Amino acid sequence: MSAFITVDKEDPLVDEVIKIIIKGLQKNQHVTVRAEVVEKDQVFAGSGSFVADDNGTVDISEQPSTCGTYKGVSSMGLFWSIRSSPSMPQGLKLVKRNASSALLTELTVFPGQLTFEQTYNSNVKPMLQKTMRRWYMARGVQKIPVRSGRIRGTLFLPPGRGPFPGIIDLFGMTGGCVEYRAALLASRGFAAIHLPYFLYDDLAKDLSELELEYFMETVDWLSAHPHVDGNNLGIIGVSKGGEIALQMAYYSNKIKSVVSINGAPFLTVMPMTYRGENIGESIFNKNDYTETEEGIDSRNSMDCDIENYLPIWERDVHVLLISGTDDMTLKTKFLPNLFKCYPEKRKHLCELLVYPGAGHLIEPPYASFARSSVKHNRGVGGDHGRALMLWGGETVAHAHAQEDSWKHILRHFRTTLSITPTVLQRNTTNSKL
């Protein structure tokens, strides 16, 4: 019998666990499995080596990887351990910019126990291959470009007429339009707009140009959308986006729920204006960057006393704070300190999740991990240089944080924003055209 690969889901969403099995091998045969993704000519992959059982079968969800990009038993180890291939330059990070196209993964089985690097040796011939499609957009989700007034972005609507709870999705200082988390939120029942705020289209080219009005206008726009429940609006942001999310929730009475992932409880890098005046006090000193062999550690470039934190605890908004203890971009004390600021009688409005060993960029489940990546510093005072920035994190711990925090994020929004059982049932269907 010829060997072959089976997967239990042909078109899964990226946050789903997949069962991968190789059958038809020899008893106790050693094989290596590689999962490779090519995105915009950049090559990323994860690998694991396995020993077939007495039936000539390797079940990746039950059998340990003995070497490769991860070790031990993990159904999704081939995915969360993905990194740039040996031929790629240092500092790449896998980012799916166009969320409406599939994330194609080529599964390749090689004979023998190979290291990750050896799977790219031209003398090693593969035994078999299978292409998988994984999606950020579920079947029936609509993707709608947004260009309204000065608002730019992409709106994702679940199937049906709604109205759906609305979520504004913000990323950090990378800039540009990063759609995938908003698409995944729509796949789970929310009307989600990814909102770029600089280095995209005709938006600001530098963080010094940011005005809070841009974000507040988006709140008004989303609340008035015919398929959105304007009484149930939330925001999610990571890094600078998490910081801005807290500011929006403080200044807008339309926001009911916020998730801030390693976002500072004060303004960093550049001040922001609102109604013609600077709000808060920006804290940033680039001279306090620490250069290491891995890259630039920026944790000490920003600090702020608790008495100058944004007093979000004064607002009737439900807040979920997510913090990694190995964050090398932001001091890890900030979000625990913000949680401590909540008076006992208002503690029910705030939940804090602290993940040991996780870094700065905590993303949806099974996303590839990048401890560092090249960052274009165009958002910092007009500096157009490139730098290898450290985000921190340990691979296994960070993967756990991404998987666990996503469950909490969905539960947070589902419990603090009204979402009907019908929507929940429809959007847990794991398929895609």
> What is the DSSP annotation of 305-346?
-GGGS--GGGSS-EEEEEEETT-SSS-TTHHHHHHHHS-GGG
Q: For residues 258 and 360, what is the distance between their CA atoms, to the nearest angstrom?
A: 18
Q: For residues 341 and 307, what is the distance between their CA atoms, to the nearest angstrom?
A: 9
Asked about 360 being catalytic, the answer comes back as yes
Specify the pLDDT at position 424. 44
Q: Which of 391, 262, 239, 257 minimizes the C-alpha distance to 338?
A: 262
8 A C-beta contact, residue 27 and residue 52: yes
Q: What is the distance, to the nearest Å, from the Cα of residue 267 to the centroid of all Cα atoms in its chain?
A: 22
Specify the pLDDT at position 136. 98
8 A C-beta contact, residue 170 and residue 248: no
Specify the pLDDT at position 278. 87
* From 15, 327, 398, 405, the catalytic residue: 327
Number of Cβ atoms within 10 Å of the Cβ of 331? 15
Q: For residues 410 and 203, what is the distance between their CA atoms, to the nearest angstrom?
A: 30
pLDDT tens-place values along the chain, 433 residues long? 699 999 999 899 999 999 999 999 999 999 999 999 999 999 999 999 999 999 999 999 999 999 999 999 999 999 999 999 999 998 899 999 899 999 999 999 999 999 999 999 989 999 999 999 999 999 999 999 999 999 999 999 999 999 999 999 999 988 999 999 999 999 999 999 999 999 999 999 988 899 999 999 999 999 999 999 999 999 999 999 999 999 999 999 999 999 999 999 999 988 899 998 888 777 788 888 999 988 999 998 888 999 999 999 999 999 999 999 999 999 999 999 999 999 999 999 999 999 999 999 999 999 999 999 987 555 444 443 567 999 999 999 999 999 999 999 999 999 999 865 444 444 444 444 3
Number of Cβ atoms within 10 Å of the Cβ of 65? 23
Q: Which of 148, 176, 154, 177 minimizes the C-alpha distance to 167?
A: 154
Asked about 297 being catalytic, the answer comes back as no
Per DSSP, the chain holds a count of helices (H) and strands (E) of 7, 22
* From 84, 239, 260, 405, the catalytic residue: 239
Maximum separation of any 2 CA atoms in the chain, in Å: 73
* From 194, 225, 318, 360, the catalytic residue: 360
Which residue segments constitute the domains of the chain, with CATH numbers given? 4-134 (2.60.40.2240), 142-426 (3.40.50.1820)
Asked about 239 being catalytic, the answer comes back as yes
- DSSP E strand boundaries for 123-242: 128-134, 142-148, 151-157, 164-170, 191-194, 228-238
8 A C-beta contact, residue 295 and residue 326: no
- Give Cα separations from 340 to 215, 263, 334, 347, 378 (angstroms): 27, 16, 10, 9, 35
Specify the pLDDT at position 208. 86
Specify the pLDDT at position 420. 54
